[in-house]
Amino acid sequence: MPESLIAGIPVHFPFEPYPVQRAYMEKVIQCLKDGTNGVLESPTGTGKTLSLLCSSLAWIRTRQSEHQQQMIKLDKGADLLGGGAGGGPELSDLAKTMGKANNWGVPKVIYASRTHSQLTQAMRELKRTAYSNMRSVVLGSRDQLCIHPEVSREVGNSNKVNMCKLRVHSKTCTFQLRVESKKDHPDFRGPSIMDIEDLIKVGQKLKMCPYYASKELVPQADITFMPYNYLLDPKARKANKIELGNTIVILDEAHNIEKICEESASVQIKSSDVAIAIEDVTHIMKAFASDSPQDMAGDEPKDFTIDDLMLLKEMLLDLEKAIDAVAVDNPIDGATYPASMIYELLGKANFTYGNVATIVALLDKLVQYLMVASQQQMSLRKGGSFTLLSDLLTIVFANKESVMGKVHASFKVHVQVEESKQPQGKQAPAKQAGGWLSKASLTNGSTGKVAKIINFWCFNPGFGMEQLLNTQVRSVILTSGTLAPLKPLIAELAIPVAQHLENPHIVDQSQVYVKIIGTGPDRQPLISNYTNRDNPKYISSLGQTILNVSRLVPDGLLVFFPSYPMLNKCVDAWQASGLWADIASKKPIFLEPRGKDQFTSTMEEFYQAIRDSKGACFMAVCRGKVSEGLDFADRNGRAVIITGLPFPPLKDPKVILKRRYLESNRTRENQLLSGNEWYNLEATRAVNQAIGRVIRHRNDYGAILLCDSRFKDAAQVQQLSKWIRGHLGDRPQCSPFGPIVRELRQFFKNAETTMKQPDERESGAPLETVIKKEDEPLAPISQIKREPGSNATFKAANETAIKVEMANSIKSWSPDDYACAAGRKLGGSSAPNAMDFMSRLDSNVSSIDFNCMDSRNGSNSSGLVKIHKRERSSPPGSSQSSSQTAKKRYKLVENISTIKVEPPVEVKKEVPESRAAFLREIRSLVGQDQFRAFGQALLEYKDGSKDKFEALMKVVFEVLGGPRCRHLLVGMRKYIKADDKPEFDIRLAKLEKS
């Protein structure tokens, strides 16, 4: 792989890095060198993850090399001292032992992201690099890694955790018991990179627990992958024994980091949780008194006594009484109290800093006891209420008494009325009157006590980040495709940042079409604010807009709504009016489901519709799974429609308190946002994230349509990602719908003509790697029988084409998929037609070279296929009868070195005849600012002097001088005055020669 010297560190990159990648890696390396923190934004598709991994691991490898050299010198010094100075070798051995225990002082990398799917993608990127031999490991939950059949069957993550702990403690998990004997097995230690799937496969093969085995790899790992909560949640950090001293912490996809920091420090407890805990303690006490057969551990010494249970029950009853006494004057909005209230509430039940550790340990033991008992009696609960109480105490008392001032400023207690579950049948009214859990003892007829929810909310993300920095980490790097604006983020997290970056996009301006649509086809204003969102005319106009766009956009179309209620409202209205059926006739429609299983199947159906060349429309919600966690590269997403600004619920108690917190703590020094600024930024960040689903790599292209007139407001524009602002220009305006239709049609027509399509991209070096690792090697070309028209030849070509498609990162097709596209079964008697695999290559393919020797230099190319293109006489999109299609012939070139393969025929682009069409094509190919400069220069030249001609030439050759616009530059001659044409011809000739 090419080596680049970046910030003084040799970095091996899969290809020559682009300027944006080089700038990004320089910032990363500078952070690691100086031991400082960084906030780096680089749009999706710019190779952010690859740059992050290569730069950080290159620096680690350089440090490792330096320390190896130091050890060699130490060994040489020991040899010199060994002869006469006695103590030299002992000193050397001591230094080696200390160095090894401390990883020779070289920091390790912890790479954290939001979801395991994002971590898996990052590990795949790592496998592509020159650093794939560096040791790495991923930490997952028991829910993902446990292979014990009984534990896996448990419903809910907490139940799985407790059941696993029970079996490990009682030494009844054979998988965990094998970890010690199998942890050095070559199948486990051999691979340098093991993701979740790899760990499960090896664990099943060796009958060894992947969850506990993965922890054995952490001490030797150069880079450890884990979800955010393992780092930011003190409980998870402690449970997983994560040491952060002298580590480099990388937080990828960090656009939600403030919210995650706040949530990791927040907790909730309900009245019903306390009542259930009292019942569970009572049940255990009865089992102790009666020596019930439900008690599996009856013959064994208990970890707790009846006195412990009595004391705990008394404390829980006091806590219940204290919660009952909390006043909630407004049951709808709830009541807000200062942070000190939670400590006073728990203090009334005698939960204090002095005894909390003992109580948490007792609660854990009780959970284990109930897990055992529930195996005998399935109706028993498994201690979930004890787990919730333990979490409450752990989080509340994790804040040391010395930082109480900061706690009072950063936290609030919000009390809500708990909605009671309405029972069915005749007993419903009595139970409702009896209070929560139907306990007469909890209800006072005169006061009418109700169940409550006690929320302990953190509103300062810097509180959680400060705890992370206090672990003596070397560097923290926050990165994402949508972090802008950076200043408010840095201010909220309150971390010292030495390096920050806002990268432009890697794609050319002509690859993205961005417009604000202020009115629909019927000229109805498009604005999804509170007062207009219920307007039937607006909903209808929005549907008409989506229908018209769906006719123009090829393949995948994504439509994002501000919320689920808005999505459901539009769907109901469109189904009633018939708009839904009209859209579905153009593209099958898929709705974002909320369930995990449904989500997976829906996404697969969507991708299948794209593969079947039907196209598809996916309607989803901003902040949902589709908007943040999925990749819609190439055909999967050619356009995204944002139907409105997804503001948080204005009257949500948490939103109200967050805005109050910002207003009360905002100063000129800390540069915090105001409450309104934060509220607006929350919406725009969700939009930025949804927009990022479309442009996923340097060869991708797509349209971004903002269907809400509020996007033209300066405050909203400034919060959009920098690369989007560049497309909207200095003064964004809403565009009429009519011109947008014409421009959008022209944009996709030009993109399909000028851009490399997914199945014709150059594979380069990675092609061999992909085929070698993921597929069986291609059969030697000499063994292919080349009988023209034979079925064997067709099958061989089909299989080879599929491998090339897979290697180019296109969704993998099986021969059955090609058969389905043609509407027939493989192996049938009917001859293959253009709708079979040839149409999957490209509508213009007419010659395929299966030679394994490169015709230019004769070097072996590992049997790879080269596809040569030449234009057909008819346009790709024209409709032809099946008889005409059958007449097309496809030539299979034999493996004879003397045969010359026809070079690609360059298609001469036609210049539009009319002035209006000429200007429209220029506008579709260049950026908005360039087109504005071009138009201004043209107007000045029309009535100007010789100086204006020079100014026009400078602009024209700058705007139209590139290869994609050269035909327009030639066509510009007809608009040049007769006296100036000779000079124009001379300049054009010079450009052609260069």
Residues making up the binding site for [4Fe-4S] cluster: 146, 164, 173, 209
Cα(first)–Cα(last) distance of the chain, in Å? 32
Note whether 926 and 964 are within 8 A (CB).
Answer: no
Alpha-carbon distances of 87 from 72, 91, 93, 130, rounded to whole Å: 18, 6, 10, 41
Reduced to 3 states, what is the DSSP secondary structure of residue 83? Answer: coil
Alpha-carbon distances of 252 from 226, 282, 360, 600, rounded to whole Å: 11, 47, 33, 24
Tokens at 262, concatenated: 């706040």
CA separation for the pair 454, 269 (Å, rounded): 5
Residue among 785, 813, 794 nearest 894 (CA):
785
Residue among 850, 514, 828 nearest 691 (CA):
514
Note whether 526 and 541 are within 8 A (CB).
Answer: yes
Note whether 701 and 507 are within 8 A (CB).
Answer: yes
Alpha-carbon distances of 142 from 115, 154, 215, 373, rounded to whole Å: 15, 11, 12, 22
CA separation for the pair 599, 591 (Å, rounded): 9
Q: Which amino acid is at 86?
A: G
**Which residue do the tokens 């201004």 mark?**
936
Tokens at 690, concatenated: 């949804």
Beta bridge partners of 411: 458
Note whether 222 and 56 are within 8 A (CB).
Answer: no
Residue among 671, 552, 698 nearest 21 (CA):
698
Q: Judge residue 907's burial from the number of C-beta atoms within 10 Å of its C-beta, 0-12 exposed, 13-18 middle, 19 or more buried.
A: exposed
- 746-750 long-range CB contacts below 8 Å, 24 or more apart? 746/920, 746/921, 746/924, 747/513, 747/703, 747/924, 748/552, 748/553, 748/554, 748/638, 748/703, 750/510, 750/921, 750/924, 750/925
Binding-site annotation, residues:
42-49, 146, 164, 173, 209
Q: Which amino acid is at 191?
A: P
CA separation for the pair 264, 711 (Å, rounded): 33
CA separation for the pair 609, 617 (Å, rounded): 10
Neighbours of 691 (CB within 10 A): 27
Binding-site annotation, residues for ATP:
42-49
SS (H, E, C) 342-392: HHHHHHHCCCCCCCHHHHHHHHHHHHHHHHHHHHHCCCCCCCHHHHHHHHH
Note whether 63 and 37 are within 8 A (CB).
Answer: no
Residue among 818, 902, 825 nearest 866 (CA):
902
CA separation for the pair 624, 31 (Å, rounded): 33
Alpha-carbon distances of 971 from 13, 599, 831, 912, rounded to whole Å: 42, 51, 46, 8
Longest Cα separation, the chain? 112
Q: Please report the DSSP string for 798-837 in residue order.
A: HHHHHHHHHHTTPPP--HHHHHHHHTS-TT-SSPP-TTTH
Note whether 359 and 312 are within 8 A (CB).
Answer: yes
Tokens at 50, concatenated: 């690859």
- Tell me how many degrees the CA angle 417-419-425 measures, rounded to the nearest 5: 145
CA separation for the pair 253, 44 (Å, rounded): 10
